[in-house]
Amino acid sequence: MSGITQLRIGPYIYRVEYVKDLRAADDTRLAGNIEYEQNVISVDRDNVEAVQLVTLFHEMIHGILANAGIVHHKERLIDAIATGMVQAFIDNPDLAEEFIRPECDHYHGDDRIEPCTEGDVLKKLGNIGMEK
């Protein structure tokens, strides 16, 4: 799954590394790890792709919570959220297209559409639930 090499979490850009036989300082095997000071997320590349993807979401949730000042949380809760989010994207392929990358209204005379900008996405997210 080594296609994702960067991940933005809030204002921080994390480098994503795929590490063989990822371990903690005490030699415990890890599926993933986030290092806030170095802005690095490590994922064990020995795991199957589905586990790597859930692990990436898991570490992203750690980063989101850390940005909010929430440092004490239950790993099982993060596992449940990460697994549920990945499954939701798998079960609903249009979700990412509709929610994350909305179609932009930047049409040209020759029917070309400009790519979405970050402002387009933020505008779309800000309007969710406001449609009539």
pTM of the model: 0.73
CA–CA gap between residue 18 and residue 32 (Å, rounded)? 9
Whole-angstrom distance, CA of residue 59 vs CA of residue 78: 9
**Which residue is it, tokens 């933005």?**
8
Q: pLDDT for 25-83, tens place per residue? A: 999 999 999 999 999 999 999 999 999 999 999 999 999 999 999 988 899 999 999 99
